[in-house]
Amino acid sequence: MSSQPKRVPMYVQLKNFILNQMKNGTWKPGDKLPSENELAEEFKVSRITVKNALADMVSQGIVYRIQGKGTFISDDSSESMMSFEPIKTDSSLIAFLMPRLNNCFTANLMTGIEKELADQGYNFVFRLTHESQELENKLLKELVTAGVSGIMVYPVDGETFNHEILKLTLNHYPLVIVDRYLRGLDTNCVYSDNYGGAYEATKHLTELGHASITFISTKISGTTSIEDRLRGYEQALIDAGQFIDYRLRLLDLGGGMPAVDQIQTYLRENPDVTAIVATNSTIGLQVMKAAQLLNLDVPRDLSIVCFDDYEQSNLYPVPLTYVDQNEMNIGKEAVKLIVSLIRDRSTEPRKLMLPNKLIVRQSTAINPRSDGSATAGVLLSEVRP
């Protein structure tokens, strides 16, 4: 582990400069501060960095703004200054924020992170965000203030933008997004090839002669991993010469009724469906349960492919064919990336997309309703019992 002193973010350095000018009497209550452009030029930083520093000081009551006139030292700034402390970095701590820890994927991801952190000589701080972006932002602020060296974030579902992550990224704070990326935010991230995984899963089904293949997921909007899986599914259908049928998708699972009931209703209303691409193993198992309740045989009547394995899957009568994202490796690579950022904060943001693999098991078979021209797609991928 590097013994180099950890760099304090630029917006904190700027706040310290202003506070020092106030403490030594250079700037007094009522004085106007230099403009944002002047401060940005003096410190060789962007205006957004200056805005972040001043915004924090406004919230603390140290300075105040008058629209069109500028920023001024507050009359009661001395009291507010007493509570301000520069960040002290604990070089041994790296934090990880995750919305939930409730399946094999998240457990294996956590294991990969913990093992690599230990190998790298760092200690681990873990916090659950419980699918709340508000809590996520609160924890980000608390962890930065506590002085952790860096933070890894598995964003909550549906998160399209995060102002706290943007601020930290602009200030070159060591931060890595895990499992996905945030569109329009140029930040460090590590994720699997969701598009390619869904493409291969769908291609496997089309090669088995399936033409009515449904894509099932929870709410899709804003979650780039699911959005990319939908794109991969659609492209595989197009490449197989099939039309995109918007009836063949269920994109709000669990939104209004129990998931198994919702899937049963969908399958009853769409009896031509012979195959399912599920965006995670929980949904895959829910499809399996719904098929059982409808007396549909898997895979004779319905083939199922999902993302990710599940606990003791080898003990199930019909183990699901799945896309293996190698989540332990995602965790390890996320740690390697954040450690490199801690050692050199000047590194340009990197997006690291890792390969995945289709593991074919007993839940997929040749469509008996096809014309017999389907090839045995299982020969194209690894087969596991």
2 lies in a domain? no
| Together in a domain, 316 and 214 | yes
Confidence class of residue 377 from pLDDT cuts 50, 70 and 90? Answer: very low
For residues 356 and 230, the answer to whether their CB atoms sit within 8 Å is no
What is the reported pLDDT for 91?
66
| 368 lies in the same domain as 335 | no
pLDDT tens figures, 11-38:
777 877 888 788 777 888 888 989 888 8
Per-residue model confidence as pLDDT tens digits over 124-165: 999 999 999 999 999 999 998 888 999 999 999 887 778 788
- Residues 95, 156 within the same domain: yes
Same domain as 209, residue 128: no
What single-letter amino acid sits at 212? S
DSSP 8-state symbol, 5: P
Residue matched to tokens 């009836």: 247
For residues 362 and 347, membership in a common domain is answered with no
Provide the domain count of the chain.
3
Contacts of 313 (CB under 8 A, 6+ apart): 281, 319, 320
277 assigned to some structural domain: yes
Residue 184 is assigned to a structural domain of this protein: yes
Burial (CB count within 10 angstroms: exposed 0-12, middle 13-18, buried 19+), residue 107: middle
> Are 167 and 116 found together in one domain?
yes
| pLDDT value of residue 82 | 42
**Banded pLDDT at 8 (limits 50, 70, 90):** low
- Pairwise CA distance, residues 153 & 350, whole Å: 15
Would 309 be classed as within a structural domain? yes
The answer to whether 279 touches 306, Cβ cutoff 8 Å, is yes
Residue 240 and residue 133 in one domain: no
Q: Is the domain of 222 the same as that of 302?
A: yes
How many angstroms separate the CA atoms of 241 and 235, rounded?
Answer: 10
Report pLDDT digits (tens) over 83-132. 444 344 556 899 999 999 989 999 999 999 999 999 999 999 999 999 99
CB atoms within 10 A of CB 127: 17
Report yes or no on 291 lying in a domain. Answer: yes
Give the CATH number, domain containing residue 104: 3.40.50.2300
205 is a domain residue: yes
Pair of tokens at residue 41: 């030029």
Q: Where is pLDDT greater, at 321 or 12?
A: 321
The verdict on 203 and 271 lying in the same domain is yes
Residues 206 and 313 in one domain: yes
Give the 3-state secondary structure percentages of the chain, helix then strand then coil, rounded to 5.
40, 20, 40
CATH number of the domain where residue 59 is located = 1.10.10.10
Grouping H, G, I as helix, E, B as strand and the rest as coil, residue 345 is: coil
Instruction: Mark out the alpha helices in the chain (DSSP H runs).
Output: 10-23, 36-43, 47-59, 77-81, 104-120, 133-146, 163-170, 194-207, 224-239, 259-269, 281-293, 327-343
The residue segments making up the domain with residue 138 are 90-192+327-354
32 and 113 both lie in a single domain: no
Residue 219 belongs to a domain = yes
Q: Which of residues 34, 63, 81 is at a domain's end?
A: 81
The pLDDT assigned to 385 comes to: 41
The answer to whether 190 and 337 are in contact (CB under 8 A) is yes
Give the global pTM. Answer: 0.75
Report yes or no on 5 lying in a domain. no
* Residues 32 and 95 both lie in one domain: no
42 Cβ contact partners less than 8 Å away, ≥ 6 residues apart:
34
